[in-house]
Amino acid sequence: MSVNPKVNILMVDDQPAKLLSYEVILSELGENLIKATSGREALEYLLKTDVAVVLMDVSMPELNGFELADMIRQHPRFQKTAIIFISAVHLTDLDRLKGYERGAVDYISVPVIPELLRAKVSVFAELHRKARQLETLNRQLEERVLQRTAEIRELNSELQQRVAELETIMQVLPMGVAVAHDPECRFITGNAALSDLMGMKQGDNLLKSGDGELPYDIYQNGQKLQPGEFPVQRAAANRELVGTVELEVRRRDGQMAHVLASANPLFDDSGQIRGAVGVFFDVTERKSLEDILRERAELLDLASEAIVVHDSAGILSFWNSGAEALYGWKREEVLGEDINRILRTGFPVPQKEVEAPLAAAGRWEGNLTHYTRDGRELIVASRQALKLGSRGRSVILEINRDITAQLQAEEALRRAERLGAMGRVAGIIAHEINNPLEAISNAFYLLRDHPSLDEEARYYARLAEQELARVAHITRQTLSFYRESQYPVSVAISEVLDNVLELQSRRVQLNGIILEKVYRTAGIIQGFPVELKQVFLNIVGNAIQAMPQGGRLRVRVYECIEPSTGRQGVRASVCDTGSGIDPEHAKRLFEPFFTTKETKGTGLGLWISKGIIQKYEGTIRFRSLRFAREHATCFSVFIPGTAFGQKQELTVSLAAS
C-alpha cells in the first residue's frame, strides 16, 4: 500500500459546464475525479467504485440532490459516505441538512469559492483515506489474530500429546523416575519402576506410608541415609545437579537392590525452585555380573601363564599379571597395541597357517618365539582360541607358557647324554688300550737300557718309548678319574695352584708371561689332590699356550657364595690375555675330543676337568672377551665346601682323631 493512494471524488451536476469548473478547482488535489451528469449515473459509479466524497448539486432536473442523498444513505455501504451539497442557501434546506448529521455531510453555497470547495473536499478525501487505511489494518489484524489462535490451538494439542507420551514412557520405563512436586519435597511420586523398586504402590507419596514407617531404607557406602540426604531432596535443597551416586535400597521385605541415582532441580518460569526429578537405575544384576567378572579377572591374574586377549589384527584388550611378569610390559603400556609388534612374535610356520586353523576350528596350539621388554628371547607354548564377541567382533584368547628353561634343560640333558655316551665309548677304548699299553711300556722300559742294544737300536727304542708316552698320555687323560686313595683329604686349592704354576714356571718364563697371584684364602676343601691338580694343570696350561707372545696371567683364589644357588665355597679363577676363544668354539669347549690345538691337544683336558669338578658338585665356566687389540679369557672353578672357620677346623680335627 502506497503512502497516499488516490481516492475517488464523484462530482454530480446536470450542467457540464459546472462539472468542468469543479474539475478545474479540484484537479489540484491530485485525486481521481469522476463526473456524473445525473443522479442515476452517480449511483452507477457509486456501486462500481469506492467513492470518498460525493459532490452534488442540489437542484437537478430528474433526481435532485437530497433525493439522491437519501437513496445513497439507504444503502448500508454508503451510510458513511461523505456528501457535499452545492446550493443556494435556503432555510428549509438547512433544516434538511441537519437530518443527515449522523453521516458526513456538508454544503457549499453558491457562488462556489474554489479554496473553500478544495478545502472541504480535501478534508473528506483525507478522512476517507484514513478510514480505508484503518479498515485495511483492522482486517489484517483480524487475519493475524485468527492465524495465531489456530497456531496456539495446534501447539496446545501437540503439547497434550507430548505429555501423554511422556507419561506413558514414564510408566513403561525400566528406569525409576521420582518427581518432587514442591520445593521442600514433601510430596514425591515415582513411576511404575521406582514404586516397584521401593516396594510401594504407584502414585503414593514415596515419603509416606500407611503405618508411618517407610518400607525401604537407602544406604550409601554402607551408611543409612536420612530422607533429606536422598538425591532428589539434595538437588532441590541445593538447587543443583546431583551427579550419579551408587545407592543400596534395602526393603523391609528383605529384598535388596543396587541403584545408580542422579537428580536435577526443577525451576519455574521465574527461576524459582519448584521441585526436582531423580532417576534411579537398578544395577543389581550388573553388579553381581561385575562381581563374577572381577573374580574371574583375579583368577586370571593369579595364573602364572601369560593370558592375553586381542582381536584378529593383534590389538590387545586384555593383559594379565602373568603376562606382565613374563614379558616385562605393563598392562597400560600394551593395551591397544599390536601384540605381534610388541613381542616381535616369531611363528614356527607362516602366520597364515596359524590363522587358518583358528578361523576354521577356533583353536591353535604351538610354540612361538617372543621377546621380552628387555630383549630376552623366550619360547612359549601358546594356546589360542577364537571367540565371537558380543558385538560381532571376534577376539582371540591366547595363553602362553614360558618353556624356554624347560627346552634349555632338555637340550642340556641331550647334550649331557651325548657327552656321556661319547665318554663311555672313549673310556672303553682307552681301557682296552691300557692293558696292552702297559705291557708295551714295560717292554720298552726294559729295552731302553738293555746292554745288547747298540746305539742306533737304543735310539729307535727311545723314539718308540716317546711316542708310546703320547698314547699313555691320552689314555691317562681319559681314564684319569681314578683316585689313588679312597678317602678325600683336606686340599688347599692355593697349594694345588702353586704346584701347577711351579710345573709350568719354565714355560711362563720362556713365553715372557707376567704372573699375578691373588690368594684371598688358602681355599681348603675336601678332595683328591691329584684330580684337582689335573684340573688346574689343564686350565693353566691352556692359558699359557694361548699366550705364545707373552701376556698377563692372573690366578685368584677366594671364598664366595655362588649367586645362583647360595652355596658357600671356594672359587679359583685363571685369566689370561691370550688369543681368546672363538664364539663358535665356545659351545663345544667341554666336549670330548674337541681341540683348537690341532695335533698338540688330546681334546680331552677340559672335558675331564669338567667331569672332575662335577663330581665335587662344583661348576666350571669361562668367559672370553675379544677386543680389537687384546683378548681376555677367564676360566673360573667353583667348588662348594665348608671351607669356613670353625667348621673346617672341626672337620680337620675329626679326621685327625
Partner 1 sequence: MISDKPVILCVDDEENPLILRKLVLEKAGYEVVTSTSARSAVEIVSSRHVDLVLSDHLMPGAIGTELARQIKANHPTIPVILLSGVNEIPADAGAVDVFLSKAEGPERLCEKIAAALAEYRKPRSTP
Window contacting partner 1 (CB under 8 A); options: 60-68, 213-221, 465-473, 538-546: 465-473
Residue 461 in grid coordinates = 727304542
Q: Which of 40, 186, 418, 431 binds partner 1 (CB under 8 A)?
A: 431
Window contacting partner 1 (CB under 8 A); options: 78-86, 323-331, 467-475, 635-643: 467-475
Distances 317 to 21, 286, 363, 402 between C-alpha atoms, Å: 106, 21, 19, 21
Q: Binding string, 481-500, against partner 1, x = CB under 8 A?
A: xxxxxx--------------
Min dist. Cβ of residue 484 to partner 1 (A): 6
246 φ, ψ (degrees, to nearest 5): -100, 125
Q: Which of 207, 303, 479, 632 binds partner 1 (CB under 8 A)?
A: 479
463 is an interface residue for partner 1 by CB under 8 A:
no
Which amino acid appears at position 382 of this protein? S
Q: Residue written as cell 590387545?
A: 316
Q: Which of 438, 467, 516, 617 binds partner 1 (CB under 8 A)?
A: 438
Q: Distance from CA of residue 133 to its chain's centroid?
A: 73
Which C-beta is closer to partner 1: that of 71 or that of 472? Answer: 472
Q: Which of 436, 451, 566, 645 binds partner 1 (CB under 8 A)?
A: 436
Window contacting partner 1 (CB under 8 A); options: 37-45, 326-334, 435-443, 547-555: 435-443
Rounded to 10 degrees, the C-alpha dihedral 18/21/23/25 comes to -140
Min dist. Cβ of residue 433 to partner 1 (A): 8
Rounded Cα gap, residues 612 and 538, in angstroms: 12
> Of 198, 179, 183, which Cα lies nearest the Cα of 247?
198
Residues 6+ apart with CB under 8 A from 83: 53, 54, 56, 69, 72, 100, 103, 104, 105, 106
Window contacting partner 1 (CB under 8 A); options: 299-307, 320-328, 361-369, 430-438: 430-438
469 is an interface residue for partner 1 by CB under 8 A:
yes
- DSSP SS3 for 222: coil
Q: Which of 380, 430, 547, 574 binds partner 1 (CB under 8 A)?
A: 430
> Of 560, 563, 552, 564, which Cα lies nearest the Cα of 632?
552
Rounded Cα gap, residues 177 and 263, in angstroms: 9
Q: Binding string, 239-268, against partner 1, x = CB under 8 A?
A: ------------------------------
Going through 538-591 in order, the beta strands assigned E by DSSP cover 551-561, 568-576
Which C-beta is closer to partner 1: that of 77 or that of 431? Answer: 431
Q: Which of 264, 367, 480, 521 binds partner 1 (CB under 8 A)?
A: 480
Min dist. Cβ of residue 483 to partner 1 (A): 6
DSSP-H helix ranges across 109-247? 114-172, 192-198, 231-238
User: For the residues of 455-504, what is the DSSP string, one character each?
Assistant: HHHHHHHHHHHHHHHHHHHHHHHHHTT--SSSS-EEEEHHHHHHHHHHHT
Min dist. Cβ of residue 308 to partner 1 (A): 52
Which C-beta is closer to partner 1: that of 234 or that of 476? Answer: 476
Which C-beta is closer to partner 1: that of 131 or that of 433? Answer: 433
Which C-beta is closer to partner 1: that of 299 or that of 446? Answer: 446
Which C-beta is closer to partner 1: that of 87 or that of 478? Answer: 478
137 is an interface residue for partner 1 by CB under 8 A:
no
Min dist. Cβ of residue 440 to partner 1 (A): 8
Show contacts with partner 1 in window 92-111 (CB under 8 A).
none
Residue count at the site for partner 1 (CB under 8 A)? 29
Convert 331-367 into a string of H (helix), E (strand) and C (coil). Answer: HHHHCCCEHHHHCCCECCCCHHHHHHHHHHHCEEEEE
Which C-beta is closer to partner 1: that of 112 or that of 472? Answer: 472
Residue 579, judged by CB atoms within 10 A of its CB (0-12, 13-18, 19+), counts as middle
Min dist. Cβ of residue 460 to partner 1 (A): 18
Which C-beta is closer to partner 1: that of 437 or that of 522? Answer: 437
> Of 188, 226, 184, 179, which Cα lies nearest the Cα of 209?
188
478 is an interface residue for partner 1 by CB under 8 A:
yes
Which C-beta is closer to partner 1: that of 457 or that of 560? Answer: 457
Rounded Cα gap, residues 24 and 549, in angstroms: 148
Q: Which of 199, 366, 427, 550 binds partner 1 (CB under 8 A)?
A: 427
Q: Residue written as cell 472541504?
A: 120
Which amino acid appears at position 538 of this protein? N
Min dist. Cβ of residue 420 to partner 1 (A): 13
Which C-beta is closer to partner 1: that of 113 or that of 425? Answer: 425
Q: Which of 397, 437, 522, 634 binds partner 1 (CB under 8 A)?
A: 437
In this structure, the strands spanning 8-12 and 51-57 are parallel
Min dist. Cβ of residue 586 to partner 1 (A): 27
Window contacting partner 1 (CB under 8 A); options: 41-49, 181-189, 404-412, 438-446: 438-446
Note whether 363 and 356 are within 8 A (CB). Answer: no
Min dist. Cβ of residue 645 to partner 1 (A): 31
Beta bridge partners of 562: none
Distances 546 to 554, 611, 628 between C-alpha atoms, Å: 13, 23, 17
Q: Binding string, 609-638, against partner 1, x = CB under 8 A?
A: ------------------------------
Residue 488 in grid coordinates = 678325600
51 φ, ψ (degrees, to nearest 5): -105, 135
Q: Which of 435, 549, 599, 657 binds partner 1 (CB under 8 A)?
A: 435
Min dist. Cβ of residue 333 to partner 1 (A): 56
Show contacts with partner 1 in window 439-458 (CB under 8 A).
439, 441-443, 445-446
310 is an interface residue for partner 1 by CB under 8 A:
no
Note whether 83 and 105 are within 8 A (CB). Answer: yes
> Of 22, 26, 7, which Cα lies nearest the Cα of 36?
22
Which C-beta is closer to partner 1: that of 403 or that of 437? Answer: 437
Q: Which of 8, 400, 475, 609 binds partner 1 (CB under 8 A)?
A: 475
- Which residues are near partner 1 by CB under 8 A? 427, 430-432, 434-439, 441-443, 445-446, 469, 472-473, 475-476, 478-486
